[in-house]
Amino acid sequence: MADPTVDFFEGLPHRGTDPVLADLTATFRFDLADNGESGTWLVSIAAGEIRVSRGAGQADCTIGAGRELFEGITNGAVNPMAAVLRGELAVSGDAGLLVRVLRLFPQSPPAPVRHAVVVERGRRG
């Protein structure tokens, strides 16, 4: 059975150089918890080139999440910025780098627009 988290991280280096990240040199650590166990991934970006490894290490920005939440982020079902605001996604180190690394994730679909319906009541005469 495929593992969405492993597939996501292993697929990053195969994307090729990302021109939007060409001016970024940083390392990100993703600490993912799953049923009491944790997994750690390091993602290094240098001039748009992405390298990924497993295991702990020094990072400019550390992102912590439950594995289920992280899988929702990797498939675009969960908005990572909303998860930060809800306190579900922990960020430490240079939190400003979070905005840059979000480029690696699919965009969440926009929230549906809800329109108000005005019902006019008939007049009594």
User: What is the predicted pLDDT for the residue at 15?
Assistant: 85
pLDDT for the residue 54: 93
User: Where along the chain do its domains lie?
Assistant: 4-104
Helix, coil or strand: residue 78: coil
Q: Which tens digit of pLDDT belongs to each residue from 71-120?
A: 999 998 999 999 999 999 999 999 889 988 988 888 765 555 666 666 66
Q: What's the N-to-C CA distance of the chain in angstroms?
A: 70
pLDDT score, position 110:
55
Q: For residue 60, what pLDDT is reported? A: 97
- pLDDT for 16-37, tens place per residue? 888 888 899 999 999 999 887 7
> Could you tell me how many helices (H) and strands (E) the chain has, helices first?
4, 5
Using pLDDT thresholds of 50, 70 and 90, give the confidence band for residue 41: very high
Fold of 4-104: Nonspecific Lipid-transfer Protein; Chain A (3.30.1050)
For 47-77, the pLDDT digits (tens) are 889 999 998 889 999 999 999 999 999 998 9
Match 């280096």 to its residue by tokens: 13
- According to DSSP, the residues that pair with 68 across neighbouring strands are none
pLDDT of residue 116: 62
Q: State the pLDDT confidence band at 124, using cuts at 50, 70 and 90.
A: low
